[in-house]
Structure 1
């Protein structure tokens, strides 16, 4: 049986950290803070809220500083620019001090009321309690749901790390898992895949996302495609093998044109085959570009990794100065 993380004699003293990365979410910060405090205060645990300001251009920073003055449990990490959601999430994990860390988005689509359920499962001994989004008629556009399901299907097809559809960055992570994640220095980390990859005892909880409280989604179609490619190429080299198989397949198919070319040549019908020849060249040329693009993505990831640049840069923080050692 799993070891309990909280015993009846010591669990009250444990600290829960809630990490919330955000970009231009000023309209949601106050409401989210109120709901989190109202839920966590009766739990009996000590807690801290850690907002990561991922290069916001609105008044998020002023608001976070004001909230910290009113309640020191509400902390902030201000990054020097926008480093992206996954790197901001990594910054929060590096800085959080809790015996467990809960990560969630700042748009209130991740219901804070689910936190007691997360904590209960953690008390039972689970190291990671993660959420699985269940679609509802109000939970985003049909296009977004279809593309999301397609992403998970493709990822699970080409990767050895299997993610359940709807897995989100809304989870609880035990301190020993956080310590492992802090050692990761991957360029463009894909946290959903990394957390699945590390193992430990994990427990899923299904939820229906709430409607966004304020503002609009920062994930454009272009960003979603980039995120999908980031996830696929972070945990598998199968696309490279697929590119090789496709290359061999179409090389074999193109060989079927040889009899037709010879027939056309000896019968003076060279001009009549021009259309099919051009279509073949265009098709094979496009296929080659796709394959080169796949290879290029992997080479690019190796190139960036060899530079060993930091995942993020902290401009300022309300947390303890000793935490500055994790400013990368």
Structure 2
């Protein structure tokens, strides 16, 4: 029965005190409506994951969890990053829900699409992707760099869903399968399609951020793109190798040209070509070392097998303890 479906909504948060009151309001309204419509179990909940915020984010989550049975909280000991916060939330609810939905706290993703997600799940889909219809709210630069990133990843053989971020539904078996991917440098947008379960797409209009500042400035966007590329493809290393072969061929051509000039006695002393060659080849070498170093750095991190996150507080533990005390009384 649809009404037996226990849904968990995972919301990673980092310094979101400005938007949280509205996020609480909109998400609880959506869950209340789904419960009243009989689409989900009345024990469904929203888990807010505080990723080491420096503002009042956790205090607001903790207080709301005390007064609202729909709201739960999970506090990480420090800032581990958006992807790790998502994994922490998913892992903590993986065995106690039938399906979960991940959504950012900034309300740019349409919360009303959650109902369609649940409908697709009831139709037998294990994965439902939230896909933006268009990117009108993005700047010209962000829009075009994002499209370029998707095209580049496609050419490298990485199967991504264009215009999909981390707004998605996963069934319990999809989440449990995802937990088998233990790499530290995790790129969820690339891993989810690898699961291979039946999937569907729900299209929605992305809104402007309700309040607060974006947590993805240019520097983080570039780092995220580099992580995505190097986590799923060795194409950059192959490109460096191809570039090396090309430079060898260019060097052979220059050697032949120099020999012919020497035979014709047309040699001209000069340093411009020499300096340009040194700078060009030196730059290529540094780029090559940097690319290879990026992969070696990832290997170095993976071999340590450190935990991807550390949980400091969990409001659900209090609730469980209260239930146990009540049971024994």
Taking structure 1 as the reference length, what is the TM-score of the superposition?
0.90
Q: Deviations over 1:188-219 (max 9, x none)?
A: 21011110111101111222211100011111
Check the 8 A contact 1:161/1:196 in 2, yes or no.
no
- 1:157: which partner in 2? 155
- 2:327: which partner in 1? none
Check the 8 A contact 2:28/2:70 in 1, yes or no.
no
Check the 8 A contact 1:39/1:112 in 2, yes or no.
yes
Check the 8 A contact 1:161/1:197 in 2, yes or no.
no
Residue 33, structure 1, aligned to residue 30, structure 2: no
- 1:131: which partner in 2? 130
- 1:286: which partner in 2? 283
Distance 1:322 1:93 in 2: 19
Q: What does 1:79-90 correspond to in 2, within 5 Å?
A: 79-90=76-87
Q: Would the alpha carbon gap of residues 136 and 296 (structure 1) be closer, same or farther in structure 2, given more than 3 Å must change?
A: closer
Q: Secondary structure at the match of 1:319?
A: helix
- 1:237: which partner in 2? 234
Distance 1:193 1:53 in 2: 24
Residue 144, structure 1, aligned to residue 135, structure 2: no
Q: Which runs of 5+ in 2 are unaligned?
A: 321-329
Residue 301, structure 1, aligned to residue 298, structure 2: yes
- 1:72: which partner in 2? 69
1:191 maps to which of 188, 191, 205? 188
Q: Deviations over 1:165-199 (max 9, x none)?
A: 21110000000001111222211210111101111
Distance 1:136 1:232 in 2: 22
Check the 8 A contact 1:152/1:165 in 2, yes or no.
yes
Taking structure 2 as the reference length, what is the TM-score of the superposition?
0.90
Q: What does 1:217-256 correspond to in 2, within 5 Å?
A: 217-256=214-253
- 1:215: which partner in 2? 212
Paired residues, number? 311
Residue 62, structure 1, aligned to residue 53, structure 2: no
Q: Secondary structure at the match of 1:256?
A: helix
- 1:258: which partner in 2? 255
Distance 1:196 1:314 in 2: 28
Check the 8 A contact 2:129/2:202 in 1, yes or no.
yes
Residue 205, structure 1, aligned to residue 202, structure 2: yes
Distance 1:297 1:140 in 2: 29
Distance 1:200 1:18 in 2: 20
Check the 8 A contact 1:17/1:102 in 2, yes or no.
yes
- 1:108: which partner in 2? 107
Q: How far does residue 281 in structure 1 lie from its aligned partner after superposition?
A: 1.7
Residue 171, structure 1, aligned to residue 157, structure 2: no
Q: Which runs of 5+ in 1 are unaligned?
A: 1-9, 324-328
Check the 8 A contact 2:135/2:143 in 1, yes or no.
no
- 1:15: which partner in 2? 6
Check the 8 A contact 1:264/1:270 in 2, yes or no.
no
Q: What is the root-mean-square deviation of aligned Cα atoms in Å?
A: 1.8
Check the 8 A contact 2:100/2:172 in 1, yes or no.
yes
1:49 maps to which of 46, 50, 53? 46
Q: How far does residue 164 in structure 1 lie from its aligned partner after superposition?
A: 2.8
Deviates more, 1:88-97 or 1:260-269: 260-269
Check the 8 A contact 1:130/1:204 in 2, yes or no.
yes
